[in-house]
Amino acid sequence: MTEPLLRSARWIAADYMARALRPGDAAVDATMGNGHDTERLARLVGAEGRVTAFDIQAQALAQTRARLTAAGLIDRVTLIQDSHAQMAKYLERPPRLIDFNLGFLPGGDKSVTTLLPSTLAAVQAAMALLTPGGLLLVCCYPGHDEGLRELNALRALFSGIRPQEFNILEHVFVNAGPAAPVCFAAEKQY
């Protein structure tokens, strides 16, 4: 049996990452969590590339540092314990890709989640920071109250962006119910 073509929001985001990044690129993991996306980005940008990863929780930084060290990729990544809304202060060059995986730290305290005000500020900053032709990925989880607020606000924000500035897709399984994860992909125009 062949693998399905239609998969989860996270799989879609990973596929876009692999298609968008080249060795030597700069990328941002705006919500590092346990470091899975940070590791993926570090592999994709190669030894000459750079990944900057953000999280507010010390546990996320520790887990991500351990993952990257074990994989031999820590030298390609800068880990920052700060809000993703502050990313502009830390970036040395425009990134080709910025990834957000909203919600809470898997295996962590579920009461600590991304919050709408900082998420909106971070996404708007990301759109300005991307290099022309760059890609913004945002995965939302509307199965909890703050996730639903984030999804609705991001949908409204993205709906108001002119196509001359960004091409924006919303990926969601329409038959998976209202709590189904959603992946937005926004490509900055040249």
Q: Is residue 134 part of a domain?
A: yes
Q: Is residue 3 part of a domain?
A: no
Within-domain flag for 4: no
Residues 6+ apart with CB under 8 A from 161: 127, 168, 186
pLDDT in the model for residue 105: 59
pTM for this model (two decimals): 0.95
Can you read off the two tokens belonging to residue 16?
């876009």
The total domain count for the chain is: 1
What residue numbers bound the domain in which 122 lies? 9-104+112-188
Q: Give residues with Cβ within 8 angstroms of 97, minimum separation 6.
A: 17, 20, 21, 25, 27, 28, 41, 130, 134, 135, 136, 137
Q: What is the pLDDT along the chain (190 residues), one digit of tens a residue?
A: 788 888 888 899 999 999 999 999 999 999 999 999 999 999 999 999 999 999 999 999 999 999 999 999 999 999 999 999 999 999 999 999 999 999 865 776 777 778 889 999 999 999 999 999 999 999 999 988 999 999 999 999 999 999 999 999 999 998 988 899 999 999 999 8
Q: Look at residue 34 and tell me if it is in a domain.
A: yes
Q: State how beta strands 166-172 and 135-140 pair.
A: unpaired
In a domain, 2, yes or no: no
Q: What percent of the chain has pLDDT over 70?
A: 98
